[in-house]
């Protein structure tokens, strides 16, 4: 099964993906993480992606697909995997559909209003050492300077700066309706309210996945 977590920047896709991994054991694949690693390692694909990422623009479909293809060919993706940040447009949605045509798909859109999202993103900090995500707004011990997991320095992602955030929303909104329609037409579309606390959102996400898993098991038995 391919579980697609879809939503605007800051909607909590990454957190929900981590919770799916914890409960179901399916790997979470974030194309943003794959790209950031490639940029950091200065690989050929990373060098191609760097400029677009800094401006909040989409990296070329070819570069992203190449990274993704490599990742989903690993053995841990055989049963199921979760996509976070992919597809970002209709071309990517079609491409992944063609690449693994027989795999059942569940598309979950996490919906949050833009005002809430800008607040979340401007307060987001990433540990430079272990990559853990922290939020200054919800941190219980005042403003942390270091990661409470590994003591690494906390940094703001260059694309979480206000002017870049605006561009990322513009890019997101441009393709959203077409992507929704694509998955609606395949009977794979689900929407979830992403405003409540993460664990509450996960109850709904988890129930959708369980229902779909039961459905695909049933389909296999009756085939």
Q: Which of 74, 72, 48, 73 is nearest to 61 (CA)?
A: 48
**Adjacent-strand bridge partners of 154:** 127
Nearest distance, CB of residue 17 and ligand AMP, angstroms? 11
CB of 36 to ligand AMP, least distance (A): 7
Nearer to ligand AMP, 46 or 56 (CB): 56
Range 202-207, long-range pairs (CB < 8 A, 24+ positions):
202/16, 202/19, 205/5, 205/16, 205/19, 205/20, 205/108, 205/110, 206/19, 206/20, 206/23
Rounded Cα gap, residues 90 and 51, in angstroms: 23
Q: With respect to ligand AMP, which residue has the nearer C-beta, 128 or 207?
A: 128
Active-site residue, 211 included: no
Is 58 or 209 the residue whose CB approaches ligand AMP more closely? 58
- Applying CB under 6 A, does 56 fall inside the site for ligand AMP? yes
Using rule CB under 6 A, residue 81 touches ligand AMP: no
Q: Which of 13, 36, 71, 120 is catalytic?
A: 13
Is 206 exposed, middle or buried (CB count within 10 Å of its CB: 0-12, 13-18, 19+)? middle
10 contacts 120 by C-beta, under 8 angstroms: yes
Does 159 sit near ligand AMP (CB under 6 A)?
yes
Residues 6+ apart with CB under 8 A from 212: 1, 104, 106
Query: For residues 86 and 107, which CB has a smaller minimum distance to ligand AMP in the complex?
Result: 86
Q: Please give the residue whose beta carbon sits closest to ligand AMP in the complex.
A: 32
Q: How far apart are CA 16 and CA 202, in angstroms?
A: 6
The smaller minimum CB distance to ligand AMP, of residues 165 and 205, is found at 165
| Number of residues near ligand AMP (by CB under 6 A) | 17
168 an active-site residue? yes
Active site residue 13: yes
Binding mask of the shown chain, residues 105 to 144, with x at each position contacting ligand AMP by CB under 6 A? ----------------------------------------
Considering only 51-59, 97-105, 117-125, 191-199, which stretch makes contact with ligand AMP by CB under 6 A? 51-59
Site residues (vs ligand AMP, CB under 6 A):
9, 31-32, 35, 52-53, 56-59, 64, 85-86, 88, 92, 159, 168
């Amino acid at each position: 099964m391919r579980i697609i977590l879809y939503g605007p920047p800051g909607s909590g896709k990454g957190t929900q993906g981590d919770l799916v991994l914890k409960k179901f054991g399916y790997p979470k694949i974030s194309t943003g993480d794959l790209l950031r690693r490639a940029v950091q390692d200065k690989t050929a694909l990373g060098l191609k992606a760097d400029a677009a990422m800094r401006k909040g623009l989409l990296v070329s479909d070819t570069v992203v697909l190449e990274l993704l293809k490599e990742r989903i060919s690993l053995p841990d993706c055989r049963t199921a995997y979760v996509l976070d940040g992919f597809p970002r447009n209709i071309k990517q949605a079609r491409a992944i559909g063609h690449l693994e045509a027989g795999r059942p798909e569940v598309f979950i859109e996490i919906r949050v209003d833009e005002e809430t999202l800008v607040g979340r993103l401007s307060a987001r900090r990433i540990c430079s050492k272990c990559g853990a995500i922290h939020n200054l707004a919800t941190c219980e011990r005042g403003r942390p300077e270091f990661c409470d997991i590994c003591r690494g320095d906390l940094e703001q992602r260059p694309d979480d700066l206000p002017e870049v955030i605006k561009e990322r929303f513009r890019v997101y909104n441009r393709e959203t309706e077409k992507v929704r329609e694509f998955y609606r037409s395949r009977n794979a579309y689900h929407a979830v309210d992403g405003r409540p606390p993460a664990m509450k959102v996960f109850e709904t996400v988890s129930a959708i996945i369980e229902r779909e898993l039961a459905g695909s098991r049933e389909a296999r038995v009756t085939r």
